Amino acid sequence: MKSRHAFTTPLFLVLILSCREKAPHIITVTSEIPASSIGITLPHEHIVVDFIGADSVSPDRYDSDSVFIRVLPFLNELKKHQVQTFVECTPNYLGRDVRLLQRLSKETGINIITNTGYYGAAHEKYLPQHAFTESAEELAQRWIDEFNNGINGTGIKPGFMKLSADTGPLTETQRKIMKAGALAHLKTGLSIAVHSGDGNAAKEELEIFLENGVAPDAFIWVHAQNEKNFEMFKEMASQGVWVEFDYVHTETIEQYVGFMNYMKANNLLHRALLSHDAGWYNVGEAGGGGFRGFTALFEILLPRLLEEGFTQNEIDQVIKINPAQAFRVGVRKR
Ligand SMILES: [Zn+2]
């Protein structure tokens, strides 16, 4: 009797604990943190990118120390603006370098989030050969493995999925990649950020996620600014999709004031995200080429929004509260 009791009690406790919903959390390149502590976040930026193509991409093509030295001041600059989290959106086969991201995060104290998934846009130039031959289930399993075991033996885990497609309609391979994303979401709870050529592509992506049982809330529509029809922002955001306007640049400020005014007028600020899609050390160019910094949002756009009558709470909603929701790890079923 005693031994039976000793066996059943811990098992009972294990069952209770595993049934309890885990508090929302974020996976960074150094650790797991509560979603509530994500702080001011840039949801779409880049550190290093290599456009050579999936066949030839390799970390041997650049000197990691040189990239580190080049990028460090741009990340340190973010501390003036209280940025705590930086989402690095460079996918595998386009220069994703998670060891470098981890080193930069440790040096600066800024959380960096990396990704799993494949980039099907640019006419599929950045897809490895197996992406054309494997099934959605097999591709999903590769991404699930990175989530479970870490990336390339580093133990560093992805905190979201980054996929992509050109303008709609999607190709068969791009559709398969979206299905793989849905399958991997249901196993990992990673959000699915999709570079989308236009609103029609984003709509088709959403349909594929819904067909496969994933809620709109797990989907981040990346590069929403590519869409000219603002009604599409409303259509997607009102269903629960995250609408990311991510090319804030010194020369695009008024366009972004327009996006934010539209979202506010439609009571959809709670679904909007803002970022620069900036950086990056461009492998193959001398010294990495021209590097665009990550501060136009804080130095120009946000002051403009305050002038437009936005409250600090509304701004915090977009730059702090929304990212905590959008990048939380948790399965969101339809
Ligand atoms: Zn990008």
| Residue 132 pLDDT | 97
- State the distance from the centre of ligand 1 to the C-alpha of 3, rounded, in angstroms: 58
- State the distance from the centre of ligand 1 to the C-alpha of 277, rounded, in angstroms: 5
Domain annotation covers residue 116: yes
- State the distance from the centre of ligand 1 to the C-alpha of 246, rounded, in angstroms: 8
Residue 20 has pLDDT above 60, yes or no: no
- State the distance from the centre of ligand 1 to the C-alpha of 99, rounded, in angstroms: 19
| Residue 18 pLDDT | 53
- State the distance from the centre of ligand 1 to the C-alpha of 257, rounded, in angstroms: 20
| Residue 265 pLDDT | 98
Give me the residues near ligand 1 (ion), CB cutoff below 5 Å: 89, 277
| Residue 170 pLDDT | 97
Residue 15 has pLDDT above 90, yes or no: no
pLDDT, average across residues 35-57: 96
Which residue shows structure tokens 């007028």? Answer: 265
Domain annotation covers residue 264: yes
Domain count, the chain: 1
Pairwise CA distance, residues 167 & 248, whole Å: 21
Domain annotation covers residue 250: yes
Each residue of 165-200: pLDDT tens digit?
A: 999 999 999 999 999 999 999 999 999 999 999 999
- State the distance from the centre of ligand 1 to the C-alpha of 46, rounded, in angstroms: 6
- State the distance from the centre of ligand 1 to the C-alpha of 311, rounded, in angstroms: 28
Each residue of 245-284: pLDDT tens digit?
A: 999 999 999 999 999 999 999 999 999 999 999 999 999 9
Domain annotation covers residue 3: no
Output the pTM of the full model.
Answer: 0.93
| Mean of the per-residue pLDDT values of the chain | 94
| Residue 209 pLDDT | 98
Pairwise CA distance, residues 76 & 110, whole Å: 9
- State the distance from the centre of ligand 1 to the C-alpha of 149, rounded, in angstroms: 25
- State the distance from the centre of ligand 1 to the C-alpha of 91, rounded, in angstroms: 9
Domain annotation covers residue 11: no
Domain annotation covers residue 239: yes
Domain annotation covers residue 143: yes
* CATH code of residue 31: 3.20.20.140
Helix axes 199-211, 172-188, angle to 10 degrees: 50
Domain annotation covers residue 106: yes
Helix, strand or coil for residue 82?
coil
- State the distance from the centre of ligand 1 to the C-alpha of 135, rounded, in angstroms: 26
Pairwise CA distance, residues 111 & 79, whole Å: 11
Structural domain boundaries, residue 234: 27-326
Local confidence band at 6 (pLDDT 50, 70, 90 cut-offs): very low
| Residue 23 pLDDT | 82
**Two tokens, residue 201:** 């592509």
